[in-house]
A and B are shown apart, each in its own frame.
Chain A
Amino acid sequence: MIDVLYFAWVRERIGLPKEQVETSAATVAELVEELKAREERYAAAFEDVSALRVAVDQELTDFDAPLAGVREVAFFPPMTGG
């Protein structure tokens, strides 16, 4: 089980901030494909992954990052701090 977190408009589009996902995906990209296949709201949120950023165990990474041993994956738009 992996905790999957969503922030900003990704959270709004999917309709929840966090969920536990049972997955055998080997990479973030594979997890995205599994989520997109679930329901329209996921497909809408992940339509253009170039508009998204991903963090694995709270570290920014790429969509080809492996998921072995990972506890937490977060999806969000580019950050706007400061």
Chain B
Amino acid sequence: MTVRVQEQAFDLGAEVQAFAFGRDDAGAVVNFTGIVRNTPDGDLERMEMEHYPGMTENALKGIEAEAMKRWNLKDCLIIHRYGTLRPGDLIMMVATASPHRGDAFEAAMFLMDYLKSRAPFWKKEYTTDGAEWVAAKHEDEDALTKW
């Protein structure tokens, strides 16, 4: 179980390779990667990702521990960035390793649903029109009820 909260970019290929490499206990590795999406008008200049140092790491570790309890996982990894991000930049990734793919897929979905609305991150988008905090979506909160 690993959690990394960092400002600098991460190498997606290297991270997934290192996570999957050398395992003989897990037949399935699932990776989800979050990317900064541009606005429909294509005018996103940057995104500032704010977080709550200390609580962020603890919240993510708690979410991982819950996933390890609910599914048959051999390992999981969360990397989440903060600071200035631009369209197309990788924001975050999760990876899960399990003997079979069902648990790996479900646990990855669970990690994503929980970290979206239970880990203390806030996004502010800067477009050519100005700056605006991204509002939380009701469907993100609703997504938690299925777990």
Contacts and interface: CB of A to CB of B under 8 A. Distances in A.
Interface of A: 5, 7-9, 55, 58-60, 74, 76-82
Interface of B: 34, 50, 52, 54-55, 58-59, 80, 91-92, 112, 115-124, 133-136, 141
A8 B125 CA distance: 12
A82 B117 CA distance: 9
Nearest to B123: A80
Query: Does more than half of chain B's interface fall in helix, strand or loop, or is it mixed?
Result: mixed
Contact of B91 (A60, A79, A82): A82
Given A58-B55, A82-B34, A82-B91, A9 B120 contact: no
B55 A79 contact: no
A58 B58 contact: yes
Given A7-B122, A8-B124, A76-B122, A81 B52 contact: no
Contacts of B135: 77-78, 80
A41 B79 CA distance: 35
B52 A7 contact: yes
Contacts of B59: 60
A34 B54 CA distance: 26
Contacts of A59: 55
